[in-house]
């Protein structure tokens, strides 16, 4: 079966607006057009288009506009905003939810969080931030749960309703880079024997160029290794090499 709500009923006006929205998709104009035309939409059309625009949009736009559109008291909100699979997942959430956000620099308001810590760290990297914040949120304050971009995203319109718990600092990548100066640097690749089952999807199994043991190469390592002065080695080998660089006499 298609993952479409049974509130779905096609309507000529909805169809005309949908056609224009498809043309504007991915541009900041789409949500403005939606806001202009929204009054004549069916309830289902309103919520369905709004959620589709939100998950397909990836640029900057007026947060207050999104807040007022998501905040509408039109009926059918939950079941039309979320797909049936998302409603099911939403219903399974506990009374309190732990969620994370990678804040942008100087950010003063926001409505989106992720339930997934790894996802939050991925956003932090994209936004040039080195930490994420953890919040405790009451389920009843959650407007929607979106699973569509595999971001486990929740929308909470009023940040005054969420409770800050703690900050998490991204250290994992910083410590996986061994001493690296201009002409002699080693990227340390974690050994598979230490981390048999990593959670990072970008990690690729490779062989240590020195000892041949299986180890993991991350996206970050691949980027750094484009520099011809950088070499890679497993954790043990790069430790040994690091020690040798400081002038001690270890076998490599
Ligand atoms: Zn090695």
| Res 185 pLDDT > 60 | yes
> What mean pLDDT value characterizes the chain?
83
CA 185 – ligand 1 centroid, Å? 15
Helix (H) or strand (E) holding 33: helix 29-37
Among candidates 53, 29, 56, which has minimal Cα distance to 41? 53
| Res 113 pLDDT > 90 | yes
CA 236 – ligand 1 centroid, Å? 6
Q: Token pair of 164, please? A: 């800050």
CA 223 – ligand 1 centroid, Å? 20
CA 93 – ligand 1 centroid, Å? 44
Q: What is the mean pLDDT of residues 143-164?
A: 92
| Res 1 pLDDT > 60 | no
**Which residues make Cβ contacts (< 8 Å) with residue 234, sequence separation at least 6?**
188, 189, 190, 191, 208, 210, 211, 213, 215
pLDDT: which is higher, 196 or 140: 140
CA 77 – ligand 1 centroid, Å? 56
Among candidates 155, 149, 147, which has minimal Cα distance to 88? 147
- Assign 213 a pLDDT band (cuts: 50, 70, 90): very high
Coil, strand or helix at 137: strand
Alpha-carbon distance of 210 to 233, in angstroms, equals: 6
CA 61 – ligand 1 centroid, Å? 48
pLDDT attached to residue 184: 53
When mean pLDDT is compared across 40-44, 105-109, 227-231, the lowest value belongs to 227-231
Look-up of token digits 């340390």: 188
Domains of the chain by start residue, with CATH: 12-81 (no CATH), 84-170 (3.20.170), 173-245 (no CATH)
pLDDT: which is higher, 179 or 79: 79
CA 180 – ligand 1 centroid, Å? 17
Is pTM beyond 0.75? Reply is no
Q: Token pair of 130, please? A: 């080195």
Pairing of β 184-189 and β 230-234: parallel
């Amino acid at each position: 079966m298609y993952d479409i709500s049974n509130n779905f009923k096609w309507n000529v006006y909805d169809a005309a607006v949908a056609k224009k929205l498809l043309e504007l998709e991915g541009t900041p104009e789409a949500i403005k057009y939606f806001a202009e035309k929204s009054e004549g939409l069916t309830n289902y059309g309103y919520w369905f288009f709004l959620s589709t625009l939100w998950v397909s949009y990836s640029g900057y736009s007026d947060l207050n506009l999104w807040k007022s559109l998501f905040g509408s008291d039109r009926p059918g909100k939950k079941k039309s905003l979320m797909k049936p699979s998302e409603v099911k997942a939403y219903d399974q959430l506990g009374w309190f939810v732990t969620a994370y956000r990678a804040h942008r620099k100087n950010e003063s308001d926001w409505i989106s969080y992720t339930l997934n810590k790894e996802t939050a760290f991925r956003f932090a990297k994209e936004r040039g931030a080195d930490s994420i914040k953890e919040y405790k949120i009451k389920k009843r304050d959650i407007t929607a749960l979106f699973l569509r971009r595999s971001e486990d995203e929740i929308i909470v319109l009023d940040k005054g309703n969420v409770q800050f718990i703690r900050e998490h600092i991204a250290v994992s990548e910083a410590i996986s880079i061994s001493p690296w100066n201009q002409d002699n640097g080693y990227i340390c690749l974690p050994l598979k024997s230490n981390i048999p089952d990593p959670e990072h999807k970008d990690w690729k199994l490779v062989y240590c160029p020195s000892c041949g043991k299986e180890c993991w190469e991350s996206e970050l390592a691949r980027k750094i290794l484009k520099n011809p002065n950088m070499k890679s080695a497993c954790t043990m080998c790069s430790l040994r090499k690091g020690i040798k660089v400081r002038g001690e006499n270890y076998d490599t």
